[in-house]
Amino acid sequence: MFTHIDSFPRALRQVPDAFQSFLVQGAHFTPAEEYPIITAGMIASVVPKKIMPFDKAISYRGILKDTFISFYSPDRTFERVRRNPKQYVRFFKRTAGIIGFDFSVHSDMPIIKQKSQMNDNLSLTYYFGQQGIPVIPNLRCGIDDLLPEFLSAIPHQNYVAIGTHGFIKETWQQYDWFCFLEQVLQTLHPKGVIVYGSLRNPMFDCFKSQTPFYFYEPWICQRRKKALSYVN
């Protein structure tokens, strides 16, 4: 005879996982903020042949097995993955892998919001890595004080990714990025840095002796060039 769950003692009732703790099941965590630590075994062993934004890839009818999926686009275009990550495991397994999540983190956000977004980016990246999907951690941090612990969640001497498209325009922003990159390279000693965006700044030349950089044009630039080739 079926017994209704309400008849069980409260301590024995299963609590719904409203906070998505399954995302970090089995993870080790950083000491202060408890960000999940991405393991070296999750990291892709090769650089992407192609990179396509999630919102374009999800409706793409072609083959994606040689394409990495990125999240360098407005948060609303991939918010649905955060709401229901399990639904997209099968889709990502059809691809070459993913660039880590890139929910917005701005230095003028409240600190608690910056930490929350950073945690979501790491937690989702960790989850899909645990599903056997190759990942390349995306480096998106807030204020400088948050960077050391964030980097402690990223394995050393592996590939990492950064996005420069659309917001590193002013001189002061580029200087901040120079300082950011300098600390990343000194801390992680990455095997290579995937750069997604149109920025081709001389600042990258300063670091090329330390690690290889691999540049990928934004999707919109790729489409524009393709359209122009048809016209010409």
Amino acid 10: pLDDT: 62
**86 vs 13, more confident:** 86
- Residues 187-228 have pLDDT tens digits of 999 999 999 986 666 778 888 889 999 999 887 666 666 655
Q: Is the model's pLDDT at 75 over the cut of 70?
A: yes
- Residues 10-54 have pLDDT tens digits of 655 666 777 899 999 999 999 999 999 999 999 999 999 999 999
How many angstroms separate the CA atoms of 146 and 89, rounded?
30
Reading phi first (left if > 0) and then psi (alpha if -120 to 50, else beta), residue 157 is in: left
Tokens of 140: 């998106």
DSSP annotation string for 149-189? HHHTTS-SSSEEEEE-TTT--SHHHHHHHHHHHHHHHHHH-
How many angstroms separate the CA atoms of 66 and 74, rounded?
24
pTM of the entire predicted model = 0.88
Of 2-6, 153-157, 164-168, 211-215, the one with minimum mean pLDDT is: 2-6
| Signed CA dihedral, 120, 122, 125, 127: sign only | negative
For the beta carbon of residue 204, count every other beta carbon within 10 angstroms. Answer: 17
Amino acid 191: pLDDT: 97
